[in-house]
A = this chain, B = another copy of it.
């Protein structure tokens, strides 16, 4: 499944840079909506104009949790993946009423249920602010560069975010080659309308994940509300009557999270030797813990389900990426391209300022190797895996940050980010004590393992306690209750500073340590890499020209491609599966058990209906939930995955085998109609 949530660790090496130097191959590219190469699709029979692109932009939305989605009715109905709504489905479930297991269908508006912690963003404008940023950073390096840039970004975002309903992000494209201000309309009242049973949403489960043929109904319908009523959304996708056919030109608009196609060799080696193994060891151990935890009782299974889904998905995705980087041929190509750019820089006096950039990045990554254990332990994993402890840190930091000038605050506390911060803090999403305990013990054990029992920070956190006894002490905190968090927040700095809540106390005690290593890491590693990847990017521009797309940044991109099979282990794989195939594959045992809704209605279902399909669109984690549509802007599918060859797509796109995997629009219609009897929704989307 394509979702950046897990992968969006605050690690520079995912910071985007330029894609592969060659001009993008057919179908390759995650193009911005103000930089789409219309001339390329012209050759394929259709050249979008600006009005078409604007309409796509406004009908495409983003879930801030890390997914994509689309507006599919004029009453705010939103189509996304089940796995993008899974956390909401789990949060609305109880021991007695498990919506993951049973599915959910609202009979009418009144039955639609609010998701406790979901926010949808609609991209209303893109403005070039490159000149403003470059104006203040000119000639600066390292910490000074970072400080000036962040201050200007905070100012630009503050000017833009006139109300809580507006979100403004300055997005760094081409790694500093360009800065664009993305203005979003925020929707925070999002309700669950329809979600099928896990059994059909994830039919085939982890074994089939990232594979094709597939047989999934990985869809969910949400609705945007305004003032307690369904929002009016004239900018929408319509629904295709006939679906797609093999070879057809199709588009995907969505928010790919991160790609590393423009990374230097040193950055790729860092990913291969340091970041990915470390992350994978962590995920593997977490997976082991969650698996046995979920097996203990039905209730624990429900509680752990969403985490387990993300952990398994992330594990498989990252292993694929590691395999890709262990391929010596890929690294050879990357090294060759890099040598070409370096040669150009060496021979052209105008490019002299870019000379030391590669070495500077390599040096910064050597510093990263030294600092990262401490940075992870104290800052990146410094809330010890606990949601409540996360709230504790937010409150403690907010108490300190709120009286600083906007431009000097930590970026997540600048004025433009406050609405999102508050929404998260007040979220009614349940916090499960048993799962919190599991994670606290794991993270605290790892903290001691990685820094060693004699480290002063470890001693400060654990004292004479074991991870188990400290977890139990921390779990006496009341921060799992939204009302308690509200009281502290409303009480302001003095209430937070005086609080004796055990998590607030611990967050206060360790905050200075965490800030110190964050500061070191950001100035000695991130800023240096940022500044120098900008130089590398410029050098690549100078060598290869500019007709290409920026690496992914979890902002809206448009990709074109076609419905097309591929070859796997020497055998052709056709682009469509049918519902009949799912019945053929079902064993009755999870994850290959069809839900009763399907087995009971088998006679009423048209088994020849296309079920899932593959296309050549260039997508990556974050594209989950993206609409797949034709030149008429009609939905023909719903992106939910990539095939196994897509996992290397982080580093480069291989059009011969890299495929996006989607739910066919005809299957969604057949399921909503013949299986779930959701006439109300069908009428709405087909209108």
* The 8 A-B residue pairs with the shortest CB-CB distance in the complex, in nearest-first order: A288-B288, A284-B284, A464-B587, A466-B589, A288-B289, A292-B292, A285-B288, A284-B285
Task: Tell whether A452 is near chain B: CB-to-CB under 8 Å.
Answer: yes
Q: Tell me whether A449 and B289 are in contact in the complex, defined as CB-CB below 8 angstroms, given that A296-B296, A588-B464, A589-B466 are known contacts.
A: no
Interface string of A434-457 (1 = CB under 8 A from B): 000010000000001100110000
Interface string of A204-231 (1 = CB under 8 A from B): 1011100100000000000000000000
Bound Cα distance A533, B537 (Å): 46
In the bound complex, residues from chain B placing their C-beta under 8 Å from that of A273 are: 326
Closest chain B residue to A276, Cβ basis: B277
Interface string of A553-596 (1 = CB under 8 A from B): 00000000000000000000000000000000001111110000
- Tell me if A589 and B281 are in contact (CB < 8 A): no
In the bound complex, residues from chain B placing their C-beta under 8 Å from that of A281 are: 280-281, 284, 319
Q: Tell me whether A452 and B207 are in contact in the complex, defined as CB-CB below 8 angstroms, given that A289-B289, A326-B273 are known contacts.
A: yes
Q: How far is the CB of A276 from chain B (nearest CB, A)?
A: 9
Can you list 12 A-B pairs with a CB-CB distance of less than 8 A?
A204-B453, A273-B326, A277-B280, A285-B287, A286-B288, A289-B291, A296-B296, A464-B589, A465-B587, A465-B589, A466-B592, A469-B589
In the bound complex, residues from chain B placing their C-beta under 8 Å from that of A464 are: 587-589
**Which A residues form the contact surface with B (CB < 8 A)?**
204, 206-208, 211, 273, 277, 280-282, 284-293, 296, 319, 322, 326, 438, 448-449, 452-453, 463-466, 469, 587-592
In the bound complex, residues from chain B placing their C-beta under 8 Å from that of A296 are: 296
Bound Cα distance A5, B211 (Å): 36
Bound Cα distance A466, B208 (Å): 14
- Tell me if A466 and B590 are in contact (CB < 8 A): yes
Bound Cα distance A592, B466 (Å): 9
Q: Which of B207, B448, B463, B465 contacts A453, CB < 8 Å?
A: B207
- Tell me if B292 and A438 are in contact (CB < 8 A): yes
Q: How far is the CB of A330 from chain B (nearest CB, A)?
A: 13
Q: How far is the CB of A66 from chain B (nearest CB, A)?
A: 24
Closest chain B residue to A277, Cβ basis: B277
In the bound complex, residues from chain B placing their C-beta under 8 Å from that of A465 are: 587, 589
Q: How far is the CB of A266 from chain B (nearest CB, A)?
A: 12
Q: How far is the CB of A488 from chain B (nearest CB, A)?
A: 30
